[in-house]
Amino acid sequence: MADITIGLHGGAGALPRDQLSEAEWAQARADMKAALLAGWKILRAGGTALDAVEACVIVLEDSPHFNAGHGAALNADGEHELDAAIMDGATFRAGALAGVRRIRNPISAARRLLEQDDTVLLGGAAGDAFAAGEGLAMVDPAYFTTERRVKALASLKARALAGTVAQASEGEKHGTVGAVARDSRGNLAAATSTGGFNNKPVGRIGDSPIIGAGTYAENGIAAVSGTGRGEVFIRRVAAHEVAARIRLGGAEIGKAAHGVIHDVLSPHGIGAGMIALGAAGDPVAPYNTLGMHRGWITTAGAIFAGSHEDMVAMGLAP
């Protein structure tokens, strides 16, 4: 079988180690492993990179430990507005949702939109209606709420009143999940899902559903999913910038991705990170924050996951 790989991120700006118990860190790593295995099993059976990244992100959307789906951030009105996108590197087809409120797994709605191939991006109530019409699972918005996000919103509102928002940790402010994969035919795919940042303005849309900003895939070049302050990712078309450095400048994936994070985005004073794969399926996960949940399974089936500077070996894929 040709090289297959899947990688993920769970958001730049992991909380300081002492703010979560070791049991909570372990559960987050376990959920990342489960997400990677969900995608890996598809790849191992000869399935597509597109199927693999969707399956991977669904697991992360269902976990309360990440800012997507169940566990998503709350906006300034204390409500959820979810964004997601998925892209096929073989065909350049893409589907994206922005500001949806009732879709249990927004990434699956983005995938259905991709398959229709006539609309790339739907927003708000139209996105929810589309998903319902496709027979996808719909939930009451309260399903997405967790105690941690309620506390984060209260903390940021208090900081806003005190004028200390700049002192908030990256973990308090935002987070995103994403996956990239290479299948046995050499096809690449990328998927991203997020609740945005805590206390965001109502109606705000970040980079995750913007193709080329937070999500991008191109066969023979790269697959990229970003995480961080989306406004800057949009302005700098960050995900596509990685691909452009490879396609036009001949850079290898590590140099391209690290260059975008540290040379393009960091000067804007934002926390940022990404998971990216090159054409051969070699994963890289640069970030400029205290930590970033990230992991991958190599072609040989070795599983790695980490949250800060550590990367923990988590055995072999079955």
Torsion of CA 110, 111, 112, 113, to 10 degrees: 50
**Residue with the two structure tokens 């590590």:** 254
Question: Does the active-site annotation cover 176?
Answer: yes
Judge whether 112 and 130 are in contact, CB under 8 Å: yes
Q: How far apart are CA 90 and CA 233, in angstroms?
A: 23
Catalytic choice (5, 48, 145, 176):
176
Interstrand relation of 302-306 and 312-316 (parallel, antiparallel or unpaired): antiparallel
Q: Burial of 21 by CB count in 10 Å (0-12 exposed, 13-18 middle, 19+ buried)?
A: exposed
- Residue numbers annotated as active site: 176
